[in-house]
Amino acid sequence: MVLLKEHSRKGFVFYTNLGSRKACDLSDNPHAALCFYWGVLGLQIRIEGSVEAVTSEEADAYFASRPLASRIGAWASKQSSPLETKQQLLRRVARYTASYSLKDLGRPPFWSGFRIVPTRFEFWTAKEFRLHERAVFDLQDNCSWQRYLVYP
Ligand X SMILES: Cc1cc2nc3c(=O)[nH]c(=O)nc-3n(C[C@H](O)[C@H](O)[C@H](O)COP(=O)(O)O)c2cc1C
**Bridge pairing between strands 111-125 and 11-17:** antiparallel
To ligand X, the closest distance from the beta carbon of 72 in angstroms equals 16
Q: How crowded is the C-beta side of 63, counted as CA atoms within 13 Å?
A: 25
* Burial annotation 50-69 (CB, 10 A radius, 16+ → b, else e): ebbbbeeebbeebbeeeeee
Instruction: Determine which residue in the list 6, 7, 20, 89 makes contact with ligand X, applying CB under 6 A.
Output: 20
Give me the catalytic one of 92, 130, 134, 147: 130
Told to check if 79 binds ligand X by CB under 6 A, we report yes
The answer to whether 130 is a known catalytic residue is yes
Told to check if 68 binds ligand X by CB under 6 A, we report no
- Chain residues in the site for ligand X (CB under 6 A): 1-3, 14-17, 20-22, 79-80
